[in-house]
Structure 1
Amino acid sequence: MIKNYYICRLKDRLSTYITIIYNNISMYLDQKEKEAIFKKHGKDQKDTGSAEGQIALFTYRINHLTEHLKKNRKDFNTERSLVKLVGKRRSLLDYLTKKDIMRYRAIVKELELRK
């Protein structure tokens, strides 16, 4: 019983890695593009911890994965990672709402997100 559980988990992970390698998902964002995102939305290009910078990075990744899923409708592993990213971005937006509503409104307007 336990052995079957671990085999299933291993198959899931292997399928995820194959999907990533096959579709070249991990290579869509290099260091310079990340720095440009953080420079535009954060305080500077090295400011990776600000909520605005992280929200902008998550938005970029979400848009990329959405385009990928339009082409590959049955890629369920990527769909799951997309849902997780949307949840992370939502929690950061909620944090920003509680912390500073003006910063929240600015980032939502700048990234053209739904409220």
Structure 2
Amino acid sequence: MYLNTEVNEGIFEKHGGAKTNTGSSEGQIALFTFRIAHLTEHLKKNRKDYGTQRALQLLVGKRRSLLDYLKKKDINRYREIIKELGIRK
């Protein structure tokens, strides 16, 4: 599987501060970005997989709402995570 425990802990340790800090906005945004990249690659090969397409749209919406929340709470953390993950607005 593409998202195992080691990868998950690595994402949260890098972006969330600690591997057990799974509730941080930055960690969740990074995890969603990782999953979005994986689903995008899957959809490039399987164009008619509409279930995956819907899951991808839901993930993008969740990430967008977390980014909006972070932008409202702390603009500097928002700018940092956007630059670090290479997300464009």
Structure-2-length-normalised TM-score:
0.98
Give the CA deviation at 1:28: 1.6
> For residue 45 of structure 2, what is the amino acid of its counterpart?
K
Higher relative contact order (CA 8 A, sep 6+): 2
Q: Is 2:82 aligned against 1:108? A: yes
Q: Is 2:54 aligned against 1:76? A: no
Partner of 1:95: 69
Q: 2:2 aligns with which of 28, 32, 38?
A: 28
Partner of 2:20: 46
Spell out structure 1 runs of 4+ moving beyond 3 A. none
Distance in 1 of aligned mates of 2:50 and 2:35: 16
Q: Which runs of 5+ in 2 are unaligned?
A: none
> For residue 28 of structure 1, what is the amino acid of its counterpart?
Y
Q: Is 2:23 aligned against 1:55? A: no
- How many residue pairs match? The answer is 89
Q: Which runs of 5+ in 1 are unaligned?
A: 1-26
